[in-house]
Amino acid sequence: MFSQAESCQISDKFTAVQLLGGNDLDEEGKAFMARYGVQGFPTLLAMTPDGAVVGRQFERTLEGIIAAMEQAVTTNEEFKKTEAELGEKKDDESIRKLSGLYKERAQLDEARKGYEALTKKDPQVADQEALLQVLSAQGDNDARKALLKVLVDTRGDHEKHIRWRMDHAMADLPTQVTSREEWLDVLGKRKAALEGLLPKVEKEADQAEVRGMLAQILSNTGDREGAQAHWDWILEKAPKSGAAAAALWMKGQNLIRQGQFEGDPAKVEEAKTIWQQLADDHPDTMFGKRAGQLMPQLDGLIQMLEAKKAAAEEAARKKAEEKKEGDEEKPEEKKDDSVPATPIR
């Protein structure tokens, strides 16, 4: 690409820096992925010399890349203007806005300083949650765990209270992994932490949240029976909760996977029934809306599996008939009932 003349519009203005991924990933690469939320390679980021991300959405064409880089320049200029306007102000609203901009640009040190400078008399939950995200991105688990404890202790009536309790129970575990082995190890430790928390949770709606996350972990590790037990509990004890919507969604997904793997349209039919219940009972949730949208695709999948099953059954029937006809056409072997002659000595 960089041999083309048009690419000079990029190379004359920007310096390209490449970090290796995959099997070549080193400690610097792991730290970079954690700080900037990189999920995989290739990933293209437009950054300033001080490490701020000013663009991460790119097309694959040269023209699209050039347009995105030019937009990144404009975005950076707008940020500098806003920073100059707010930089001298010390009121909470200005600090909050500037801190949000710093967080978006992954300038985590500056964002953390800003959020920590906000009034402590009655801190807003939104500000504390924003600081939690920054602490997670920085990998400062001790500070994050301490802030979670503050939220748990002071916001007991908040709708996210049980989520904070779960996060606090798992706060000592890594938030970033770089291999499947690490991922499975972390999942096992999360499971143990949540199973330790569950007996301490009194409200059924809160228990449903814990069980929902446990079911997701068990499903990811292949323990479908264990996940199913938690989903069944949720649907029986807390059928109107957000956890119930997630339970119906996951139950349907698992049945669809089984149906595809086993070539069984009946399992997809069962999943369709479950997702229809999800769409009817939880129409305003993300899961309910998505289930309703996917109904036509489930009908198509059922028809395809039924056609495949019918074709397989027909092929098996023909094979059995051919075998039967072949057996009937074989001449019967005549038995020799004569007595063998006794040799004369």
Helix (H, G, I), strand (E, B) or coil at 110: helix
Q: CA dihedral in degrees (43, 46, 49, 52; nearest 10)? A: -90
Mean per-residue pLDDT for 30-40?
A: 77
Residue 40 has pLDDT above 90, yes or no: no
Measured between alpha carbons, how far is 197 from 161 in angstroms, rounded to an integer? 13
Measured between alpha carbons, how far is 248 from 260 in angstroms, rounded to an integer? 18
Burial state string for 223-242 with b = 16 or more CB within 10 A and e = fewer than 16: ebebbbebbebbbeebbebb
Q: Which of 86, 109, 132 is the last residue of a domain?
A: 86
pLDDT at 86: 86
pTM over 0.85: no
In a domain, 206, yes or no: no
Domain, as residue range, for 31: 1-86
How do residues 197-231 score in pLDDT, each as one tens digit? 999 999 999 999 999 999 999 988 889 899 999 99
List the beta bridge partners of residue 65: none
Mean per-residue pLDDT for 114-126?
A: 87
In a domain, 287, yes or no: yes
Looking at residue 248, which CATH number applies to its domain?
1.20.58
In a domain, 6, yes or no: yes
List the beta bridge partners of residue 55: 46
User: Which tokens go with 258?
Assistant: 């089984």
Q: Are 111 and 102 in contact, with CB atoms under 8 Å apart?
A: yes
In a domain, 163, yes or no: no
Least confident of 42-56, 117-131, 298-312: 42-56
In a domain, 38, yes or no: yes
**Average pLDDT taken over every residue of the chain:** 86
In a domain, 168, yes or no: no
Measured between alpha carbons, how far is 1 from 4 in angstroms, rounded to an integer? 6
How do residues 135-160 score in pLDDT, each as one tens digit? 988 888 899 999 999 999 999 999 99
Give the pLDDT band (50/70/90) at residue 9.
Answer: low
In a domain, 208, yes or no: no
pLDDT at 45: 84
Burial state string for 143-154 with b = 16 or more CB within 10 A and e = fewer than 16: bbbebbeebbee
Strand (E) or helix (H) holding 54: strand 53-55
Looking at the 3D structure of the chain, how many domains does it have? 2
Helix (H, G, I), strand (E, B) or coil at 53: strand
Measured between alpha carbons, how far is 196 from 201 in angstroms, rounded to an integer? 10
pLDDT at 20: 64
User: Which tokens go with 237?
Assistant: 């004890």
In a domain, 299, yes or no: yes
Q: Which of 36, 62, 86 is the last residue of a domain?
A: 86
Residue 255 has pLDDT above 60, yes or no: yes
pLDDT at 85: 87
pLDDT at 6: 67
From the list 228, 270, 269, the residue with the least C-alpha distance to 250 is 228
Residue 68 has pLDDT above 70, yes or no: yes
Give the pLDDT band (50/70/90) at residue 345.
Answer: very low
Measured between alpha carbons, how far is 188 from 181 in angstroms, rounded to an integer? 11
Please work out, in degrees rounded to the nearest 5, the angle formed at the alpha carbon of residue 73 by the alpha carbons of 72 and 76: 85
Burial state string for 200-216 with b = 16 or more CB within 10 A and e = fewer than 16: ebeeebbbbbbbbbbbb
How do residues 240-250 score in pLDDT, each as one tens digit? 888 999 999 99
